Amino acid sequence: MRIQFSLSCQKGTIIPINYQSEISQWVFEVLSKAGSELATWVQQRGFDLSSRNFKLFTFSPLAIYPYEMDQVKQEFKLLGNQVKLSVSIYIDPSFEQQLVHIFRQVPLALGTLDGRPAQFEVKHWQVMPPLAYKETMQFKAVSPISITTVDEVKTANPYLLPDSENYDVSFFTHAVRRMKAAMQYKSLAALKMLDPAFPMHYRLLGQAKSRLIHLKPNPEGISQLRGFAYEFEVSMPQPILEFCYYAGFGEYPHLGFGFIEVK
């Protein structure tokens, strides 16, 4: 499911330029308050909402115009009273309304206002319609996509450039690995989700822009991640493409990476 939120805030709120950690924690908090049916659905797939190991979600950057930016302090000062945010979760559509209700009840804690913690509350929302999938589609990475090499020997800089010779290998390997984990490591071919003969294809469209995101302390122990914002064409089996559309492309989508939209 995908939900586009309009969040209300106070004019003059100060938020950090790197706010991905706070949004990730907000989504985790919402999921942890889900009812027993959703908790059971998640547990049947080998995850546990209370321990926050269900990470099949991603989100867009905040749309915060108008604003002032302080490069020295690495902060945004919001000059309006509303921001927009899209959240995408790989979950059964029957739970959409339950999650929307919880999102409305749980404010997003982010930034400060007059030196005190600030909160953002859901005022409007829209559940986005399902995507019409095609064998080959073009997308743009709204939030950066982070891909590291799948080689056994890691280098000092494991991040791959989207125009690297073997980028497609790592791109598809990470997608299949994440989906396999979501299916409790069952054979995707046996589940009719992956035809080994399907010719998966990746093509970079235009130039990629590097993004380095600094993160707050997290269970993964990751202080920063690099990704790339770019447009691309991809051919994938529909079940895997749908999984990546909702759960995010690349690595660490739950930390604000891999949110894409149709080009």
> What angle is formed at CA 71 by the lines to CA 68 and CA 73, rounded to 5 degrees?
95
Does residue 152 sit in helix, strand or coil? coil
Where does 160-253 have alpha helices with state H? 167-182, 238-247
Identify the pLDDT of residue 22. 97
Helices (H) and strands (E) in the chain, counts: 5, 12
Q: Name the residue ranges covered by the structural domains of the chain.
A: 2-127, 136-262
Among 73-82, 120-129, 135-144, 179-188, name the one with the lowest average pLDDT.
179-188
The predicted structure's pLDDT at residue 57: 97
Enter the tokens of residue 259.
């949110």
Closest listed residue to residue 176, CA positions, set 88, 249, 92, 252: 249
CATH entry, 2-127, from 3.20.20.70, 2.40.30.10, 1.25.10.10, 3.30.70.1890: 3.30.70.1890
pLDDT at 154 (0 to 100): 65
Does CATH number 3.30.70.1900 belong to domain 136-262? Answer: yes
For 34, list phi and psi in degrees, rounded to 5: -65, 160
Intrachain domains 2-127 and 136-262 with the same fold: yes
Provide the strand spans (E) within the chain. Answer: 2-8, 14-16, 57-59, 67-70, 75-78, 82-89, 108-113, 116-127, 136-141, 201-214, 224-235, 260-262
Report the pLDDT value the prediction gives residue 12, as an integer from 0 to 100: 97
- In the chain, the amino acid numbered 122 is V
Pick from 80-94, 186-200, 201-215, 229-243: least confident: 186-200
The pLDDT of 177-199, averaged and rounded, is 91
| Residue range 150-162, pLDDT digits in tens | 887 666 778 999 9
pLDDT attached to residue 50? 84
Alpha-carbon distance of 189 to 90, in angstroms, equals 20
% of residues, the chain, pLDDT over 70: 98
pLDDT band at 185 (very low <50, low <70, confident <90, very high): confident
Question: b/e for 194-233, b at 16 or more Cβ within 10 A?
Answer: beeeeebeeebeeebeebebebeeeeeeeeebbbbbbbbe
pTM equals 0.94
Residue 4 and residue 84 in contact, taking contact as beta carbons nearer than 8 Å: yes
pLDDT in tens, 75-112: 999 999 999 999 999 999 999 999 999 999 999 999 99
C-alpha closest to that of 138 among 10, 2, 263: 263
pLDDT score for 151: 80
pLDDT of 132 above 90: yes
Side by side, the strands of the sheet bearing 57-59 are 57-59, 82-89, 2-8, 116-127, 108-113, 14-16, 75-78, 67-70
Selected residue with higher pLDDT from 245 and 52: 245
pLDDT of residue 250: 97
Q: Hey, what's the torsion of the CAs at 94, 245, 33, 182, to 10 degrees? A: 90
Strands 116-127 and 2-8: antiparallel
- pLDDT for position 153: 66
- Residue for token digits 């005022």? 123
